[in-house]
Amino acid sequence: MSKKLIELKKISKSFGNDLVIDELDLYIRENEFVTLLGPSGCGKTTLLRIIGGFETPDEGSVFFDGEDITKMPPNKRQVNTVFQKYSLFSHMTVAQNIAFGLRVKKKSNEEIQKKIEYALDLVNLPGFENRMPDSLSGGQQQRIAIARAIVNEPKVLLLDEPLGALDLKLRQEMQYELIRLKNELGITFIYVTHDQEEALTMSDTIVVMNQGYIQQIGTPEDIYNEPTNAFVADFIGESNIIDGIMLSDRLVRIGGQDFECVDEGFAPNEPVDVVIRPEDVELGPPENGQTTGTVTSIIFKGVHYEIQVASAIGINFMVQTTLNFPVGSFVGIRVIPDNFQIMHKPQSEDEEILDANAQTGAAHEP
């Protein structure tokens, strides 16, 4: 298993009276693609800037390969950053933009030329050396920004929502390009986004953040299939989040009806949040359902239908299925035990955030 490359210990950061990050611990492995994911204001960009040296934490330490770099300036770190606004020099050619950092380091002209050609090949833009930035598309400019970063051979590439300004098709193409680059270069990528699809598509590890705390750390599969709390379940993909009562081990009551599940360790009759993914709700003939319902709306999404069903137990289910059930259809509703995710219900929003933060330690063990 790869060694730890970056360690953040007890990082706190405030801007005025606004606490953005609170005693955060995180480590990142060598050659890992880690995505910091969360809503606006959750602290993910501030955390990236602390890693890059553009912000200094109020408390805590940043370690790089075992060395404390908390107060080290950005230009001394083995880290390069690609921003959402590409920050290309408009008066320089593509080659001059890519070479800028190399010339600062006083590399020879021969070495610079080789690195320019290598970087342009990597981002699939050979022959663009003499083009000006304003003649390039948004996707091409983003590739040049990445090329400019990788020629400096950083151990870590930081990417701050770099695809946010691109249209959907180009953004999807660039996602696959970044995966390819990460695999070819063998360097660590730390990527900031609020786009769940980007995170699920590209990451080895996802760090879900909210209000300055880490809510969950895990693989895309873990984050999607085993969310730690209702916030993660709601933020990653779509979910039916329902109030329930855990009657006993492996038995939950929803809307007055009892359903078998696989969860254990809850107190008898404990109020819980029940999470059911839309694709895990099965629709069929009424006689085959655990309960029944009526289809109230249906939207065709291309690969599936998104259906709203008003159930007999008083719950409106969102369902994603490849089967077409017209509005007004009377259907059976079934969820198998494995597809119920049962979560402790926090007493307050603050408790939810703190409880989630306390649970993240085991999610990314060495």
CATH code for the domain in which residue 125 is found: 3.40.50.300
Where helices occur in the chain by DSSP H, the ranges are 44-52, 94-104, 109-122, 138-150, 168-185, 196-202, 220-225, 230-235, 349-359
CATH code of the domain covering residue 286: 2.40.50.140
| Same domain membership, residue 208 and residue 99 | yes
Distance CA 103, CA 101 (A): 5
End-of-domain residue from the set 173, 206, 227: 227
Residue 106 lies in a domain: yes
Supply the Cα-derived Rg of the chain in whole angstroms: 24
Determine, yes or no, domain membership for 130. yes
Q: Which domain holds residue 144?
A: 4-227
Same domain, 217 and 298: no
Residues 196, 87 within the same domain: yes
Same domain? 40 vs 130: yes
Q: Determine the pLDDT at residue 329.
A: 98
Which residue, 140, 127, 147, 134, is CA-closest to 80?
Answer: 147
Buried b (16+ CB within 10 A) or exposed e, 140-176: bbbbbbbbbbbbbebbbbbbbbbbeebeeebbeebbe
Residue 155: what pLDDT? 92
Are 38 and 135 members of one domain? yes
48 and 193 part of one domain: yes
Within a domain: residue 17?
A: yes
- Verify that 219 and 243 share a domain, yes or no: no
Say yes or no: 154 and 255 in one domain.
no
- Domain co-membership, 202 together with 170: yes
- Residue 87 has a pLDDT of 77
Tally the domains of the chain: 2
- Per-residue pLDDT for the chain (366 aa), expressed as one digit of tens each? 678 999 999 999 999 999 999 999 999 999 999 999 999 999 999 999 999 999 999 999 999 999 999 999 998 999 998 877 767 898 999 999 999 988 888 889 999 999 999 889 888 899 999 999 999 988 888 889 888 888 888 899 999 988 877 778 878 888 888 888 888 888 999 999 999 989 999 999 999 999 999 999 999 999 999 999 999 999 998 999 999 999 999 999 999 999 999 999 999 999 999 999 999 999 999 999 999 999 999 999 999 999 999 999 999 999 999 999 999 999 999 999 999 999 998 755 545 554 555 444 433 543
Residue 345 is classified by DSSP as P
Residue finishing a domain among 227, 248, 283: 227
Instruction: Report yes or no on 156 lying in a domain.
Output: yes
Indicate whether 220 and 291 sit together in one domain. no
> Quick check: is 101 in a domain?
yes
The residue among 189, 205, 227 that closes a domain is 227
